Each structure stands twice: as C-alpha cells, then as structure tokens.
Amino acid sequence: MTSYDAWLDPQEVKRLAGQLLEPAPTAMAKPPGDPSFGADFVGFDAEELEAKSPAPVLRGIDGLRQRFAHGMFLLDERGEAIFAEGDAGQLQSLAIDFARSSVETRRGVRLKIDAVRWLELVPIDSPESRRVFGAIVTAPLDSATFQEIEATLGE
Amino acid sequence: MGKTTLSINLAHAFAKAGVKTLLIDADPQGSVGLSLTRQSRSLPGIYDYLADPGIALDRLIVPTRMDTFALVASGQASDYEAGGCAAGSYLARMRMFLGAAEALGYDLCLIDTAAGLFGLTGDVIAAGDAVVIPQQAEPLGIRSVPKLLEGLNRLRVMNPRLSVLGVVLTMVQHDLPESVEAAKAMRQLLPSELVFDTSVPRHGLFVKASARGLPVGALEDGAGGLAVFEALRAEVQGKLDSRGGRMATHGR
C-alpha cells in the first residue's frame, strides 16, 4: 500500500501496463497496402478501370468549375488526378495523404491553406470506387454544396 | 529537467555513439530549437513540412558540429495554419517525413513531442516505431499514469508495431522525500520492463547546458551528465535493437 493507492487503482494500472507489453490488438488495424479505402473497398481491377470512361464525370464539372474558380481536382482510387484545374495541383499530394490516412469523416476534411483560403476534401463514394474531390474555397462549404458535389461526381 | 532536455541529451548520446541521429522538434513551443539554435525562430521546420506538401525534408535539416547529429526545428507554421489537427490528420505526412529521413541516411529519428496524446503528438507516436516517456518524479505525474497507459494502448491499435520502451524518471531529487517516493511508486506500479533503470537527476548542469545552447555532454564539466545519458542510451539501444529505430519522446 503506497500513498498513491488512494489516487489510482494499482490493479488497473498493472492491467493496462501489461497490455502494452503484449502484441498489439490487430483486429481494428487496417490491412497494409490500401489503408485509404474503407472496409467496403474490394480492390483494383485493371481491366475494369481501363474500360471506365471518364466522360460522365467530366460532363458534370462545368457547374463546379464556375463555383470553384480558385482551383479544384478529382483523384481516383490510386491518388491520380482525373482532372485538376487552377491552383490546386500542388495540393494534390496533400489530398493523397489524407486519402491514405486513417481519417474517416462523413463530410471530408477542411484545411486552412493560407490567410483567406481553405482546401476542402470531399470523399466521393460509389459502388465501384472512392474518389477524392478537392477544391480551394474562401469560405467553408455549406451542406447544399456538399450535396451538389456528391450528386455531380457520384453519378 | 523534462522531455526537451531528455530529447536533446539522448539524441546527443546516440550521435556521439556514431548513430546518425535526427532530432525533431515537434513541440509547437519549439523548445529544442530554442535550446540549441539562436536562429530557431526563423527556421522552417516540421510544422511547415506538415502544412506544405511542397517542402522537402532536406530543406529543413539544421546541421550541428557533429557529422552524426542534425536538427529539424518546429518551424513557422502552426497547428492552426495547417488546418487544425484532428487525430490522424498528419499521420500519412508524418510517415512520409520518417521515410524521407530514412532515405537521407538517418539511423534514428528522435522526436520531441508536445505533452498529451492528442493531435499531432498522437500522429507522431502512431507513425513511429517506439516511444519513450519522460516522467517527472513528482506526485502529480504518478496520478496521471492510468490515463497515459490508456492513451498508449489506443495508439497501439492505430500502430500495432509501436513499441513502448518505457518511462524514464526525470528530475529525481534524492534529497526530497516526495520525489523519492514518487520514483519508488512508479517502479512499484509498472512492470520493470516499462521503467528504465536509468533515471535522470535534477541538476544544475542541465540549466547550465541549456543556457549555453549545448547538450550537457558537451560542457567541459558535463562528464556526470554525459554518463547518465550514455547509460540511458545503452538501455534504449538494447530495447530498440530488436524493434527498429524511429523514436518519439513523449512529453508528460
């Protein structure tokens, strides 16, 4: 019995410390290789990817182009640009970092990139893939804009 | 003496032993930089690297008089400018940083983090191979041990290969009963594998070294301090040998 026993539970401390010495639990750990994609990601099929036409996506960006004049991009599952416009190109690698990190949020990620601008990263999920849309904005996106992006690019 | 002094002197001990060592100041207070370089306020550093994917690591490296010892300052950007820091935000970028350091030939990256296990500190630990926990030998530190262990267990879920090398007792005052009791209690509470045999006493040498912007081992009369950190280095090295070598010293 030490004077610290009143402040903490020694048995609990020993249990927690013991866990640190054991092999780490791996059940929640994501498998190496493609940590960017959720549990529903089924892998790449080269032929299928080649067969896909980018046309439907590109048809939808005209409206977004007006809205995101500072720059925007769309990355595919491999982190490669399907399109990139404006000043956003240099931020693509940052977006790829995010796409590959373990961050999972419903509405994406917002980064302050300078005094007046933000980079918004929005995951675009479809049954076949997860893409990442990025846009440079001067004000955070509102809910309606998120929906417009998802509707336009998620088709 | 706390985590920054530990980081500086442990990194110096590794470098002195011939290990090519990169000491990284990931504490936004910039204490490592302020301790060792007069120009640290204007140097780009790890926060800039995290905020700007266009920055290459070799632009950030500050050489020292030792070929085996270099620094990366905390830098000019802040958490806020990088867009806040939810857990995981910097994980991929930190891994990229460590990979770049390895590619530049560094054997060991020793990262001085801010206190706590949240935000960037969590990402640094989750990206690393091993963590050392400096713990001041004082009553408050002992009481926070359960929270620390819970946090480290959570981070090991994110990074299953993370090795918790253990707690280093710092600022031990052998003439102060409360300090001695706190050190003793830590050794009683934790398994011996999780507490380093070497502890770091509170000593005026560290203040003197800090005032001169040097590791304690570089002082003319620093042999005693050097011996402490050489013993600690040997313990760390022994634990790292089987586990790989990118380490964070986590602030408490």
Can you tell me whether residue B56 is helix, strand or coil? coil
Taken in order of first residue, the domains within chain B and their CATH numbers are: 3-251 (3.40.50.300)
Residue A116 belongs to some domain of the structure: yes
Residue A3 belongs to some domain of the structure: no
The pLDDT assigned to B122 comes to: 84
Q: Which of B17, B82, B8, B9 is nearest to B45 (CA)?
A: B82
Pick the residue from chain A with its C-alpha nearest to B49.
A94
Interface confidence: ipTM more than 0.85 = no
Q: Which of B209, B171, B170, B203 is nearest to B35 (CA)?
A: B209
What tens digit of pLDDT does each residue of A18-32 get?
A: 888 887 654 333 334
Q: Could you give the angle at the alpha carbon of B153 between the alpha carbons of B150 and B159, nearest 5°?
A: 145
The pLDDT assigned to A62 comes to: 66
Q: How far apart are CA B202 and CA B178, in angstroms?
A: 14
Contact A103, A94 (CB under 8 A): no
Phi, psi (rounded to 5 degrees) for B45? -155, -155
The pLDDT assigned to B82 comes to: 43
The pLDDT assigned to A35 comes to: 40
Q: What is the CATH number of the domain that holds A76?
A: 3.40.1840.10
Residue B252: pLDDT band (50, 70, 90) is very low
Residue A102 belongs to some domain of the structure: yes
Query: Whole-model pTM?
Result: 0.65
Q: How far apart are CA B70 and CA B43, in angstroms?
A: 14
Residue A82 belongs to some domain of the structure: yes
Enclosing domain of residue A73: 46-153
Residue A54 belongs to some domain of the structure: yes
Determine whether the interchain pair A112/B82 forms a contact, defined as Cβ–Cβ distance below 8 Å.
Answer: yes
Residue A40 belongs to some domain of the structure: no
Determine whether the interchain pair B96/A97 forms a contact, defined as Cβ–Cβ distance below 8 Å.
Answer: yes
Instruction: State the total domains in chain A.
Output: 1
- Mean pLDDT, rounded, for B22-49: 75
- Residue A101, chain B, CB below 8 Å: the answer is yes
Residue A33 belongs to some domain of the structure: no
- A vs B, Cβ pairs < 8 A, gives 106
Place of tokens 């001041």: B136
